[in-house]
Structure 1
């Protein structure tokens, strides 16, 4: 026993393309465009507030070194350049 409305719904459901691929491209782009610059701004303000006002320039530079290392790690993760860099480092030792 099929009603015309139910038959129309079944036809409509069968016409819709099935999308089985799930990706995180939109989330990745949003994080890169919003969260990373906001974190950089917060770190810069904290460095200025913690060390700049007290004259502790050496402490600020130590913290800045850590920030640069963290940014390099984020850059490697985002650009997928780790494999190429690993091959280059291996090439230095293997010739």
Structure 2
């Protein structure tokens, strides 16, 4: 294929999501963590320590899932968990 269509096809094949992933990891993830910290401090400041403890468990699970997603080790973690069950 020649002409302008060939250039467009070549550029389309070179597109990746690496830049977007890096931007999300460097900008959005820290903002999410900052928001979580502010909410936990606000709840703790009201004296609801039991509420902070309850929410911390859910947040910890969410942060673990976020860490697995960001690191790209999802398949290895899934295989490890499956081996715990299956043996």
TM class, shorter-length: 0.7 to 0.9
2:80 aligned with 1:88? yes
In the TM superposition, 1:1-95 aligns within 5 A as: 18-19=10-11, 20-49=13-42, 51-95=43-87
Q: Distance in 2 between matches of 1:45 and 1:94?
A: 41
Larger radius of gyration: 1
RCO higher in structure (CA 8 A, sep ≥6): 2
The unaligned stretches of length 5 or more in structure 2 are: none
How many pairs does the alignment contain?
80
Gapped runs of 5+ residues in structure 1?
1-9
Q: How has the CA–CA distance of structure 1 residues 26 and 52 changed in structure 2, closer, same or farther, with 3 Å as cutoff?
A: same
SS in 1 for 2:14: coil
Residues 91 and 53 from structure 1, CA distance in 2 versus in 1: closer, same or farther, beyond 3 angstroms? closer
More helix, by proportion:
2
Structure 2-normalised TM-score? 0.76
